[in-house]
Structure 1
Amino acid sequence: MKKRSGRNLINAMAVCVAAVTAVSANSAFAQSKKQPNFLIISVDDVSWFEHSIYGTSDVPTPNVDRIANEGIRFNHGYVSAPSCGPSRAAMLSGKHFWQLEQGAFMQSFFPKKFPTYPLILQDNGYETCSVGKNWGPGIAPSRDGHRSSVAGKSYNHISRENAEKTPYLYPRDYLAGIEQFLAERSADKPFCIWAGIFEPHGPWMKSKDAVSLAQSEFGVDVRSLTCDYYDHAKNAANPQGQNPGYYYEMLHYDRTVKRMLDSLEEKGLLDNTMVIFVGDNGTFVRGENLSGFELNIVGDNQTPRSKASGYDAGVHVPFFLMWKDRTPGGRVVDDFVSAIDIGPTVLDAAGVPIPEGMSGRSMMKIINSTKSGQVDPSRDTMMTGMEFHYENTLMPASRNIRNQRFEYVIHFENGGEEFYDLKNDPWETNNLINDPEYRAEIQRLKAKMKKIGLEQGDPRFTGEMDLFDHTHQYCNQGKESLFNKTWQNNFNRSYAEGLKAVGLPPVPRN
């Protein structure tokens, strides 16, 4: 993998900035008793290695980088699932996707029995705003599933100027919605803004248009940009170019982030606002099938190594947190943190009780620290996985568990297993599952995965698969017509009525 000089420089700067600002940041918060505001920015389909601040890319995202440079850069930030629907359901509920029943599946629904942290804040005196993509794609049965208010009051109705001329970008104006909310809100109440940025999700514009717009709007030649992508031909990672439209959309969302930060700063609100930037799942790259079993795909070279897979590039995302009144900038933290930790962290920071059902853990111990590196020794493991993404034509259901050194993978449909030494093989190119040297480590991670699965009620480990099997059947039934009006109308009445209307049996109850 190509070494980029930015990583060493950034790490050196981080240490200096943290040392200088630690005392002033903590003393500033000590003098303030105000509840904080929150701005949660989630972008669609981007992996950690596409951001230059990690030293693996030369794509310029200075405004996203600002959040990391003036706050905390998490080197090991993960989402629960590599698919936007279950990933966002997990992020909003503070629970692992496998705990969310139908919410564990793309194209199903997000049961309203699982409360979301924006709505909990709303019930505790916060004013909420949601723009862009919150949860989805899926259905919203009125009596069973969360509606469009799942991430707070919707301000998602203002169209972007000349949106018809740029159909490859999200048609709503994120900032205009936020500005309307800030103008209407009660100035004496704290707020929580969910900004679900659709970009850089495809389809993208034509390459020639992307090249032209990137040059005219940003002065950047996107044809020259590269990231350290997995190269299946060489079974390794090498600097490679992505679609110019993808890079244009990265520049576009970086500009969107700037406008959001500038707006809060101009109003004197930024210092007391916790800003979190996170990807909802990785981008899409392909590689070799190293599971040892035939997968439900076309050809080994078509195996996803990121989006829709539990591999590192699918669940390891950019994750930054800035709270200028509270934590010193320039910190680089190696603790494993998850997007399901956002909800407990936000509630903890607001002084609102965290529901017992949330599996995520508050990050306030990290935020309150001035340290870089490993801050909380207990954050040494991360478990992720996937159940369903478009009929599983990409990858079968799986679970992954990793620590700083090793990773174990299980594919449930065929029993395929993988094991990687991440220290020597960070891009997961050498499957060591049959290497006797690692037998003890493999068994250790397998046992830990089973323990976590049983403790958290993962049907793959409890054996209570009826509801998952039923939901899988439902998703397959609607795979071609899920978003047409007939299907939507059937299911938006209630889930039970919808099942009956399309000839599916009642949902089983464990």
Structure 2
Amino acid sequence: MKKNRMPFLQLFLLFIAVLITSCETKPSKPNILFAILDDATYSHFGAYGCDWVNTPNFDRIAAQGILFNKAYTPNAKCAPSRSAILTGRNSWQLEEAANHWSYFPQKFKTVGEALSENGYHVGYTGKGWAPGVAGEIDGIKRQLIGKAYNNKQLTSPTSGISSIDYAENFIDFLDTKNTPEPFMFWFGSYEPHRAYEFGSGIEKGNKNLKDISKIYSFWPENDTIITDLLDYAYEIEYFDHQLGLMLEELENRSIIDNTIIIVTSDNGMPFPRIKGQEYELSNHMPLAIMWPNGIKNPGRKIDDFVSFIDFTPTLLDLAGIENSGMQPVEGKSLSNLFYAENSGIIDSSRDHVLIGKERHDIGRPEDQGYPIRGIVKGDYLFIQNFETSRWPAGNPETGYLNCDGSQTKTACLDAKANKDTFKYWAWSFAKRPEIELYNINDDPECMINLAENPSSSSIINELKKQLYAELKAQSDPRMEGKGYLFDQYQYADKSGVNFYERYMRGEKLKTGWVNASDFEEL
């Protein structure tokens, strides 16, 4: 009998060793650091080849993780974009939350709430889900992404940069965490949202007008606009610096290896024809993700199309939450992309994304929106504008309120008065045709509408057919002849309700996000 004990013991020990090894190779529930800029276009980061914005920490995350080349928000405006992130559902699936400044519907639990209910320490600093009213459930105020950590303040370097000390508030958050529990922290920078301190990029960011050799062709080129762009760049760099401080804190606490760090923006830059619209530069977002314990073969660049609705199922998947109590999500987990080893296209089914919008800022009669649906597939962006009689950036007489005030906006508005420069006004503010089609590989600025060419009819029909089929499957009210519902949802900032009618009656209303000169006389 003694002769048989040794092989059995050896087999038992081998089994234990294999079991331990397998446990070591499978990551435990990761911590989550979700860092989101407020209004930044994907191409203005070093990892994407920009040489006039310095983003060493974003670039580090890309180099030590994954850089996504085709990440899109479904809706290029703050609140609806963040709603999609937190629910895993497209705008048209979110009732009131499809709109900017909405009352967040009770029926939609967020991923932050689900993580909190399943053992995660959840909180945020800076801008969370906003602007809007999160509401209450059973008399308790909702915390869509946990408790706010904003007590630590600093002297900001410019008048346009928030005084919230993001990094110190992250430390406060970590200090309140019970040792064994994982965390989810949302770093919501207020940068590079407007307004900027004009000239701060040059005066405080050590930038130079010569740093930018070319600007987008839909704006007039002058030193004022370049200065505006350099101020924008400086604020992105401020975000990146704060991000770097958070990475240092994770390293100091030896918890960075099992922390998944997601860095993106909510929508494109706050400049005419970008933020609040649905063009390539509006919806195409920066995205870098690092997770030392989980991502295989770091340093990869992935060309699969991914949408913001993919974040929620990804986080639920990695946290091991099968019964979240959330409404069904439309997105797909990104985890298979993390565990792959190649660059390029990993999942051939990820060959497109859907985009769209309803009401953003007010300023049209009856608080109407500017409804759009679109699809990005392959090299093409197809857009359908449903209400072409409306002004896409808001009415002229009420200041084009869906375009933030700036030196660049002023230059484009001033261009309207001269027939030689009128095109700069038209590209950003004029009414648009029902159908637009762009080859975003050849024309990322979306300047040549291929829908005007009869030879594009087949690709238009193909993309429209797919778009409509998916929207119907997702129960988009606009596909059921009920698009009016989005305009009927009340604007949650009561001071702005019925803005157009009140303004036209002569009432003095606050519009701090635009300039007085933006309002045109009829």
Q: If the length of structure 2 is used for normalisation, what is the TM-score?
A: 0.76
Describe the superposition over 1:409-468 as per-residue Cα deviations: whole angstroms up to 9, x where unpaired. 111112611112233323211111132322111101001110111111212212223531
Q: d(CA) in 2 for partners of 1:109 and 1:77?
A: 27
Q: d(CA) in 1 for partners of 2:353 and 2:23?
A: 31
Matched position secondary structure for 2:234: helix
Matched position secondary structure for 1:243: helix
Question: 1:2-151 residue pairs with structure 2 within 5 A?
Answer: 30-143=24-137, 147=141, 149-151=143-145
Query: For residue 326 of structure 1, what is the aligned residue in structure 2?
Result: 294
Q: d(CA) in 2 for partners of 1:333 and 1:146?
A: 42
Instruction: Compute the displacement of 1:167 (Å).
Output: 3.5
Query: For residue 517 of structure 2, what is the aligned residue in structure 1?
Result: none
Paired residue type of 2:254 = G
Q: d(CA) in 2 for partners of 1:477 and 1:467?
A: 19
Query: For residue 371 of structure 1, what is the aligned residue in structure 2?
Result: 342
Relative distance call for 1:338 and 1:245 in structure 2 (3 A) is: same
Relative distance call for 1:179 and 1:445 in structure 2 (3 A) is: same
Describe the superposition over 1:474-502 as per-residue Cα deviations: whole angstroms up to 9, x where unpaired. 469742699xxxxxxxxxxxxxxxxxxxx
Query: For residue 161 of structure 1, what is the aligned residue in structure 2?
Result: 154
Structure possessing the higher radius of gyration over alpha carbons: 2
Query: For residue 284 of structure 1, what is the aligned residue in structure 2?
Result: 270
Query: For residue 455 of structure 1, what is the aligned residue in structure 2?
Result: 473
Question: 1:114-263 residue pairs with structure 2 within 5 A?
Answer: 114-143=108-137, 147=141, 149-158=143-152, 160-163=153-156, 166-207=158-199, 209-215=200-206, 221-226=207-212, 229-232=215-218, 242-263=228-249
Instruction: Compute the displacement of 1:375 (Å).
Output: 0.5
- Unaligned ranges ≥5, structure 1: 1-26, 216-220, 287-303, 483-510
Contact 2:150 2:166 in 1 (8 A): yes
Contact 2:198 2:231 in 1 (8 A): yes
Matched position secondary structure for 2:475: coil
Instruction: Compute the displacement of 1:33 (Å).
Output: 4.7
Contact 1:28 1:326 in 2 (8 A): no
Describe the superposition over 1:128-171 as per-residue Cα deviations: whole angstroms up to 9, x where unpaired. 1211111111234435999562111222232x2235x7442112
- Asked if 1:314 is matched to 2:261, the reply is no
Q: d(CA) in 2 for partners of 1:170 and 1:28?
A: 46
Query: For residue 491 of structure 1, what is the aligned residue in structure 2?
Result: none
- Asked if 1:433 is matched to 2:425, the reply is no
Contact 1:59 1:226 in 2 (8 A): no
Describe the superposition over 1:393-414 as per-residue Cα deviations: whole angstroms up to 9, x where unpaired. 6982211211122121111112
Contact 1:400 1:408 in 2 (8 A): yes
Q: Which moved more, 1:57-66 or 1:41-50?
A: 57-66
Matched position secondary structure for 1:383: strand
Matched position secondary structure for 2:306: strand
Identity across matched positions, percent: 32
Query: For residue 402 of structure 1, what is the aligned residue in structure 2?
Result: 376
Contact 2:86 2:112 in 1 (8 A): yes
Q: Which moved more, 1:148-157 or 1:245-254?
A: 148-157
Relative distance call for 1:58 and 1:423 in structure 2 (3 A) is: same
Relative distance call for 1:344 and 1:233 in structure 2 (3 A) is: closer
- Unaligned ranges ≥5, structure 2: 1-20, 389-432, 500-522
Question: 1:340-419 residue pairs with structure 2 within 5 A?
Answer: 340-353=309-322, 355=326, 357-391=328-362, 396-414=370-388, 416-419=434-437
Q: d(CA) in 1 for partners of 2:313 and 2:282?
A: 23
Relative distance call for 1:477 and 1:196 in structure 2 (3 A) is: closer
- Asked if 1:442 is matched to 2:413, the reply is no
Paired residue type of 1:156 = N
Describe the superposition over 1:36-88 as per-residue Cα deviations: whole angstroms up to 9, x where unpaired. 11000011000011112112443111111111111110000111111101111
Instruction: Compute the displacement of 1:28 (Å).
Output: 9.9
Matched position secondary structure for 2:437: strand
Query: For residue 403 of structure 2, what is the aligned residue in structure 1?
Result: none
Query: For residue 274 of structure 1, what is the aligned residue in structure 2?
Result: 260
Relative distance call for 1:233 and 1:466 in structure 2 (3 A) is: closer
Query: For residue 505 of structure 1, what is the aligned residue in structure 2?
Result: none
Instruction: Compute the displacement of 1:184 (Å).
Output: 1.6
Of the three residues 432, 442, 447, the one matched with 1:424 is 442
Of the three residues 328, 337, 359, the one matched with 2:306 is 337
Instruction: Compute the displacement of 1:31 (Å).
Output: 2.7
Relative distance call for 1:141 and 1:225 in structure 2 (3 A) is: same
Matched position secondary structure for 2:89: coil
Query: For residue 488 of structure 1, what is the aligned residue in structure 2?
Result: none
Matched position secondary structure for 1:172: coil
Contact 2:382 2:464 in 1 (8 A): yes
Paired residue type of 1:52 = G
Describe the superposition over 1:373-393 as per-residue Cα deviations: whole angstroms up to 9, x where unpaired. 000000001111111121266
Matched position secondary structure for 1:310: coil
Relative distance call for 1:120 and 1:417 in structure 2 (3 A) is: same
Q: d(CA) in 1 for partners of 2:247 and 2:362?
A: 39
Q: If the length of structure 1 is used for normalisation, what is the TM-score?
A: 0.78
